[in-house]
Amino acid sequence: QVIRMRGDHPGAYYRRSEVYLAQGEFDLAMADADRVINIVPDTPGGYRVRCEVRVARNVELDAARRDCDQALEINSIDTAALAARGVLNLRTGANQQAWADFDAAIFNGRRVAQTLYGRGIASLRLGRAREGRTDMVAAEQLQSEIEATFAGYGVTPP
């Protein structure tokens, strides 16, 4: 409704892009994220949503990294951007960087299934079996389908 009344409201576009992202409507999420960036290029939300869309679709991974990095340049503790970049790093085999991104997201308050499971996979890949299993069990207790979610990203435990 806000968008219909006032077409240049970045907060409304951002919130709608988040809804579209959660619903798997990636093209619509990307379009709204682009609108946010065009209206207010110095806010992290639009860049983060674009990164998350690209990571979820496994496309334009270099652009995804640039978007995540830009979001984090603007707000270094954007935990959703850290988590998205963590998934991207797992996908590209940058396991130490993935671990650091997930750990920073958890440290800054995003202790959710995605960050725990991602840090767990990174830990396993780095040879830290006990730590990895602990995180993965905690993640599965929070969200039983987290393994399938990561498999959908193309990321599986070793």
Where do the domains of the chain lie? 1-76, 95-158
Question: CATH class for domain 1-76?
Answer: mainly alpha
> Residue 2 to residues 10, 12, 69, 104, 157: CA-CA distances in angstroms?
10, 7, 30, 34, 43
Shortest CA distance to 52 belongs to which of 105, 2, 124? 105
CB 92 within 8 A of CB 75: no
Contact between 140 and 133 (Cβ < 8 Å): no
Q: How confident is the model at residue 2 (pLDDT cuts 50, 70, 90)?
A: very low
Helices 10-22 and 26-39, interaxial angle, to 10°? Answer: 160
Place of tokens 């970049």: 85
Q: What is the mean pLDDT of residues 82-89?
A: 97
Confidence band of 9 (pLDDT split at 50, 70, 90):
confident
How far is 34 from 57, CA to CA, in rounded Å? 17
Q: Which of 148, 152, 85 is nearest to 119 (CA)?
A: 85
* Residue whose pair of structure tokens reads 């498999």 in the numeric block: 151
> At 10, is the pLDDT very low, low, confident or very high (cuts 50, 70, 90)?
confident
Helices (H) and strands (E) in the chain, counts: 10, 0
What pLDDT band is residue 52 in, cutting at 50, 70 and 90? very high
